[in-house]
Amino acid sequence: MATEKILILIKPDGVKRGLAGEVLARIERKGYTLENIAWHAATPEKLAAHYAEHVEKPFYPSLVEYMSSGPIVAAVFSGDSVIAGVRSLAGSTDPTTAAPGTIRGDFGRDWGTGNIENIIHASDSPESAEREIAVWF
């Protein structure tokens, strides 16, 4: 299998709670290679490019508000099957039901904000990864 790349975003809730190092370490301990990393303030333009498929959906304004509520960490990792591997480490999107041992299962929960504050974004396909990496790097 060819080496893949994935974009991960440690979302504002993860950064605010001091979890960036733990999230990055879990991915590195799995054996994936950190290729690039940067702090970002998520601008409306970057978020519109990143979440292009959601711009017209009713939840989009609250997603923008949440993602721009603080700094995020963007990172690119590479490795064989990195997309499937990191998404498995991340766990289910819903942090309330994410399995223990996953990033979302261990650190995420419903905070009653109406947003899914689930610590991490991970690209879901090679095509998404390529597009998302271009947005943030």
Q: What is the CA radius of gyration of the chain?
A: 14
Give the active site residue among 40, 50, 54, 121.
121
Residue 100 tokens, joined: 């223990």
Task: Respond yes or no: is residue 40 known to be catalytic.
Answer: no
Q: Please, are residues 128 and 54 in contact by the beta-carbon 8 Å criterion?
A: no
Helix (H, G, I), strand (E, B) or coil at 76: strand
- Three-point CA angle 63, 69, 71, nearest 5°: 115
Report yes or no: 124 and 87 within 8 Å, Cβ to Cβ.
yes
Q: Is 93:67 a contact under the CB 8 Å cutoff?
A: no
Which residues participate in catalysis according to the annotation? Answer: 121
